[in-house]
């Protein structure tokens, strides 16, 4: 009779001891990002860029750096998890303050997208349609503010429709720059 009582108690105790380490003590899974691993936009050997680098540190976004010509560089940052985000920064020694201010930043960014398309960039976004969206925005009487997202008509539907925005533009250390983002989500 005493043995009958010990079995259930020991069985419950054994189960509890095995279960304790697995309840709330496990490390969170870092590979749960919906978008998956970043993929380069440019193929290193066929990019048409003067110099090129792709870096993808583990657990972070990725970064592509390239030279388009003398005094011109392109930086592409891949990020996001719930959203797929690609931020592009174009820098050029040739750009002046008026080239990167206000409504002028929109056709400048559109031109960067068109150049990327000509260089055979492989992107999850339709670069031609995104460029058209920026050109159309620059032609409006009052252009959108920096940071205002614009839907890219024809590239995705509903919540997966591509959005584009000019993040910032200006001069830095004698170089003009424009920085803008393309994104989709939530995935």
The reported pLDDT for the residue numbered 135 is 94
- The CA distance from 163 to 130, in Å, is 8
Q: Grade residue 25 by pLDDT with cuts at 50, 70 and 90.
A: very low
Mean pLDDT across the stretch 160-173? 94
What tens digit of pLDDT does each residue of 39-70 get?
A: 899 987 766 788 889 998 866 789 999 998 89
Are 65 and 56 contacting, i.e. CB atoms less than 8 angstroms apart?
A: no
Mean pLDDT across the stretch 67-77? 93
Both structure tokens of 69: 């010509």
The reported pLDDT for the residue numbered 3 is 52
From residue 89, alpha-carbon distances to 141, 146, 187 in Å are 26, 14, 24
- The CA distance from 92 to 73, in Å, is 7
Q: DSSP string spanning 88-147?
A: EEEEETT--GGGGSGGGHHHHHHHHHHHHHHTT---SS-HHHHHHHHHHHHHSSSPPPTT
Task: Calculate the average pLDDT of the chain.
Answer: 82
- The CA distance from 141 to 119, in Å, is 32
- The CA distance from 166 to 63, in Å, is 19
Which letter, b or e, does each residue of 144-157 get, where b requires 16 or more Cβ atoms within 10 Å of its Cβ?
bebeeebebeebbe
What tens digit of pLDDT does each residue of 146-165 get?
A: 999 999 999 988 878 999 99
What tens digit of pLDDT does each residue of 96-135 get?
A: 988 888 889 999 999 999 999 999 999 999 999 999 999 9
The reported pLDDT for the residue numbered 21 is 39
């Amino acid at each position: 009779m005493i043995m009958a009582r010990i079995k259930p108690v020991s069985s419950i105790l054994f189960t509890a001891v095995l279960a304790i380490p697995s309840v709330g003590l496990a490390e969170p899974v870092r590979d749960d990002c919906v978008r998956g691993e970043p993929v380069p936009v440019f193929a290193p050997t066929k990019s048409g860029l003067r110099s090129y680098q792709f870096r993808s540190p583990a657990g972070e976004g990725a970064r592509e750096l390239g030279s388009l010509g003398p005094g011109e560089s392109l930086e592409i940052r891949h990020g996001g998890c719930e959203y797929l985000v690609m931020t592009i920064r174009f820098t050029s020694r040739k750009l002046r303050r008026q080239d990167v201010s206000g409504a002028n930043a929109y056709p400048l960014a559109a031109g960067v997208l068109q150049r990327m398309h000509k260089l055979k960039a492989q992107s999850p976004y339709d670069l031609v349609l995104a460029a058209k969206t920026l050109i159309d925005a620059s032609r409006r009487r009052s252009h959108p503010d920096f940071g205002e997202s614009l839907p890219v008509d024809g590239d995705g539907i509903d919540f997966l429709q591509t959005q584009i925005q000019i993040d910032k533009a200006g001069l830095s250390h004698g170089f003009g720059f424009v920085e803008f983002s393309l994104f989709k989500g939530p995935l």
